[in-house]
Structure 1
Amino acid sequence: MIYHGNRLTLKKDVTSEQFEQALAMWHEQGRMPAVESYFIGREYGAGFEWNAFFGLKDLDAYWEYLTHPLHTRSERFALPLMEKFEAYDITDDPDPDFPAKVAELQKRHYAEDPELVRLVQALPSHTGSSAVPGLG
């Protein structure tokens, strides 16, 4: 099982309407076929405002999640609203190559989506498993 986490802080000028729309999109992501479970909530004490976990069965489900149209639509809308973003993964998979396999999926995702690369590069702060070095 993989728990794909997203931590974020919104820009100060994000409207409540924009935030509500982004939140609705994250909930839609949670109902994608690849997602086994999800949780979205406020984060306290670690320098981020919000956190979303998406439970994925395996790396195939991870890829399906990354490339699903609901995820793509959410990225397009929400990334420009973020001041700070971090993606991370927690797994019980004992494979020592797991981090490299996730990095390869993220690199492939970026290679297939130049607009996403542009949006990620425009983020003021981006760290974690989706922050692939050497983009663009």
Structure 2
Amino acid sequence: MIFHGNRIKLKDGISAEAAHEALALLRTAGEEIPAVLSFVVGTDIGADYDFGAVFVLADLDGYWEYLTHPAHSAAERGGLPMMEKFEAFDVTDDPDPEFGAKVADLQRRHVETDPVLAELMAALPTNLGSSRVQ
């Protein structure tokens, strides 16, 4: 089981309406991507982030399906330009010692196969965690 999380701090001046639309895209991703077993999208409490989302996936095949699904792409394209800081993280009970490297490879492939996403990720002022492609 994989809990894939996203933490988001918006740029100054982003309207509440624009933030609401971006969060709606994340909810749509949770609803439409078959690999997502459950999800939550809402306010991030306890850190220097505004919003967060967690998507529960069964395995790395599901993770790849999530990353490459059109609803996820729509959320990336709609949300990334509004972000001051973005952090992705993954929590798993998978005992594979190579799990982190496998997630990094999926994230790298995802960005490399989508030039628009690569530009959006490169433009992020701060990008931390498992989605940061080095």
Equivalent position SS for 2:124: coil
* Worse overlay, 11-20 or 113-122: 11-20
Q: Secondary structure at the match of 1:127?
A: strand
Q: Does 1:106 align with 2:107?
A: yes
Structure 1 residue matching 2:87: 3-state secondary structure: strand
Aligned length: 133
Q: How does 1:14-93 map to 2 (within 5 A)?
A: 14-31=14-31, 32-93=33-94
Secondary structure of the structure 2 residue equivalent to 1:37 = strand
Q: Which SS does the other structure have where 1:90 is aligned?
A: strand
**Corresponding residue for residue 124 of structure 1:** 125
Instruction: State the distance in 2 between where 1:117 and 1:19 align.
Output: 22
Give 5+ residue unaligned stretches, structure 1: none
Shift of 1:104: 0.5
TM-score, length basis structure 2: 0.96
Runs of 4+ aligned structure 1 residues displaced above 2 Å come to none
Q: Which ranges of structure 2 fall in alignment gaps of 5 or more residues?
A: none
- The two structures have a TM-score, normalised by structure 1, of 0.95
For residues 22 and 47 of structure 2, what CA distance do their matches in structure 1 show?
21
Q: Give aligned-pair identity as a percent.
A: 54
Amino acid in the other structure paired with 1:57: A
